[in-house]
Structure 1
Amino acid sequence: MTALAPAVWGTTYYATTEYLPPDRPLLAGLLRALPAGLLLVAVTRRAPSGDWWWRSLVLGTLNIGVFLPLLFLAAYRLPGGVAATVGAVQPLVVLGLAALLLGQRMTTRAALAGIAGVVGVALLVLRADARLDAVGVAAALGGAVVMAAGVVLSKRWTAPAPLLAVTGWQLVAGGLVLLPVTLLVEGLPPAITAANVGGFAYLGLIGGALTYALWFRGIRVLPATQVTFLGLLSPVVATLVGWLALDQELTAWQVLGAAVVLGALVVAQRTTTVREKGESRADHGVRSVR
C-alpha cells in the first residue's frame, strides 16, 4: 500500500505538463497540499494538541513546505535526469539519520542497495549531455536531506490521533508555508481552464490527500529505511508514463536502470525484514531468560 504513494507521485510530471498552467510549479505544490489538508481536517474534525502544534508545523515544513520548493528549483536549474539522480541519495541519508535518531543499525547490504538505487536511477533518467549547476545540485541535495529528515522524524514522533487527521495537519502546515512564497514568486495565473481544474483536483485529492495518507501510514507501520527505498519507484513510473503517454524513447539502458532500481528496492525490503526477524527472536530469548 505504501508503494502506491511514490508510484502515483511518478505521474506528477505528466499531470503538470499536460493539464496545469505553464510555469506555475509552486502553485501546483500549494494546491496539491493546502486544499487537501483543509478537507482532511474538516472531515476528521480533529485539531492538534500539545506538542503536536509545533511538530505538525515542523513535519509539514520538511515533507511539503520546504521540500517542494527545493524540488522545483532543482527541476528548473537542472535537467530532470540530474535532479532525479541527486535526489536518489535520499535512502542513504535516511539510513544515516535512522541510525542516529532511531537507533536502527546500518548494514552494509542496505548501504549497497542505496548506492545501487542511485546508479539505477542514473541509468534510467540521466543523459550524456546533462549539464551541472551548483545551485540546482544544492537544491536537489537539500530536498533529499529535508525529505529524509521528515521521514525519520515522522517515525520518531508517533501522533496520538487518527492517521487522516495527522496527514491533514501536515498538509495544511506545508501549504501555509508555501502560500506566501507562491504569491511572491509566481502569483496567480491569468486564467484557469477546465483542464487545469481537473489537473489540480487530481494532484490534490489523489496526489495529495490519498498518497500522503498512505505514505504516513507506511512510516507508522514500517521501518523508515524500508519506506524511503519505495520512493525510488517515482522515477521508474515517470519514465514508464513518458513512454506510454508522451511517446518518449525507452532505451535498453533505461530498462537496465529500472531493473537495477527494482532490484535495490527488493534487496532493501528483504534486508530490513530479515534483520527485524532476527531482532524479534533475540528479544523473545531475552524475555524467556527473564
Structure 2
Amino acid sequence: MLSNRLAVVLVTALAPAVWGTTYAVTTEMLPPDRPLLAAVIRCLPAGLLLIALTRTLPKGSWWWRALVLGALNIGGFQALLFIAAYRLPGGIAATVGAVQPLITAALSAALLGDRLTLRTVLSGIAGVAGVSLLVLRANARLDAIGLAAALGGAVVMAFGVVLSKRWVSPAPLLATTGWQLTAGGLLLVPVTLLSEGAPPTHYTVDNVLGYAYLCLIGAALTYAIWFRGLRALPPTSLSFLSLLSPVVATLVGWLTLGQDLSPLQALGAVVVLGSLIVAQTQRARPLTTATAPAGPAPAGTAPADPAPGVRPSALHENA
C-alpha cells in the first residue's frame, strides 16, 4: 500500500513540476502582454481535444456541475491570478497563494469530514514560510485589490479541489477533464476580448511551439495526471503538491535563464519540500458514507499554476 501511494504521489507531482516551467516558456516563446489570451489558448483547445477523443458529453446535473468546476478550477482562478499578477510582485502573490493547502484542509474538514490535524496545519505554515523565502523580496509593495485577488484565487482553487472530490463523475477521467477545461476556457473568452482586445494576426514559430507545449503538455496531459491523482489522494495531500511549482520555476530560471539563486532561496526550497513530504505521510481518515458518494472516483481539479503570459515578476508563484 505504501509503495502504491508513493507511486501515485510521484506521478501526480509531475503535473505541478511541469507547470513550474510555464514561466520560462512564457517569457521566452510567447507574445508579451497577452496573458489571458495565452490562458484561453492553453485551456480551451485542450478541453475540446479531450472531448473529441472521448466523444462524451455531460448528462443531467453534470452540465451545471462541469460549468461550476470549470469556473472554479480554470476560469475564475485564472482571472484572479492575472489580477494578482498585475497588481502585486510575484513574490507576494505566490506567498499568499501558498495558503491554499491550509484552506483546502479546512474545507475538507467542513465538507468531507476529514480530520484537520496539527501536523497538517504546521506543514501548511511551513509551506507558506518556504515559498516566502523562495520568492519574496524585501522591496515588495502591497496592493489591497491584488491581495484580495491572490487570496480569492487560493480560495477558489481550494473549493474546486474539494467539490471535485465530493462530486463523483460517472464519465471517464479524460472526458470530465475536457468538460472543465472547455467550460473554463469559454468563460475566459469574453474576459479576454474585453481586457486585451482581438488576438494578434501574426505568430512566430516560437509562439506556435510555446502555445502547443502549454496546451498539449501543460494542460491536456498534466491536468489529466493531476485529476487522476485526486482519485487516490486526499484533497489536502494533493494541494500540498502544488507547492512544487514555485520550486521548479525558480530552479528552471536559475538553470536556463541565468537568474540568481541565493542561499535563502535554497533554504526556502528545502523547507517547501520538507512540508509537502510531511503532508504526504499524514494518514487521512477515509470519507464517511454520508460524504463519499458511491461510484467511480471523481475527476480532480488543477492547482494554482502560474498561468502563461503573466509578466516575469509574477511568475515565481505557484503554478
The TM-score, its normalising length taken from structure 2, stands at: 0.85
Q: After superposition, give the CA deviation of every residue in 1:9-53 in whole Å (9 maximum; x if it has no partner).
A: 111111111111100000111011000000000000000001110
The CA distance in 2 between the partners of 1:66 and 1:269, in whole Å, is 28
Partner residue of 1:32 out of 42, 45, 49: 42
The answer as to 2:295 corresponding to 1:264 is: no
Q: In the alignment, which residue of structure 2 is the partner of 1:87?
A: 97
The answer as to 2:46 corresponding to 1:46 is: no
- Percent of paired sites with the same residue: 71
Q: In the alignment, which residue of structure 2 is the partner of 1:74?
A: 84
Q: In the alignment, which residue of structure 1 is the partner of 2:26?
A: 16
The answer as to 2:138 corresponding to 1:128 is: yes
The CA distance in 2 between the partners of 1:164 and 1:134, in whole Å, is 38
Contact 1:117–1:261 at 8 Å: present in 2 too? yes
The CA distance in 2 between the partners of 1:217 and 1:123, in whole Å, is 31
Q: In the alignment, which residue of structure 2 is the partner of 1:7?
A: 17
Name the one with the larger helix percent.
1
Letter of the 1:78 counterpart: L
The CA distance in 1 between the partners of 2:196 and 2:203, in whole Å, is 15
Aligned 1:188-199 pairs, distance under 5 A: 188-199=199-210
The TM-score, its normalising length taken from structure 1, stands at: 0.93
Unaligned runs of 5+ in 1: 280-290
The answer as to 2:213 corresponding to 1:205 is: no
Aligned 1:194-273 pairs, distance under 5 A: 194-271=205-282, 273=283
Aligned 1:81-230 pairs, distance under 5 A: 81-187=91-197, 188-230=199-241
The CA distance in 1 between the partners of 2:214 and 2:82, in whole Å, is 15
Letter of the 2:108 counterpart: A
Q: After superposition, give the CA deviation of every residue in 1:29-80 in whole Å (9 maximum; x if it has no partner).
A: 1011000000000000000001110000000000000101111111111111
Q: After superposition, give the CA deviation of every residue in 1:210-234 in whole Å (9 maximum; x if it has no partner).
A: 1111111111211001100000000
Q: Greater Rg, structure 1 or structure 2?
A: 1
Aligned length: 276
Contact 2:84–2:147 at 8 Å: present in 1 too? yes
Contact 2:115–2:285 at 8 Å: present in 1 too? no
Q: CA deviation at 1:189?
A: 2.2
The CA distance in 2 between the partners of 1:59 and 1:216, in whole Å, is 12
Letter of the 1:101 counterpart: L
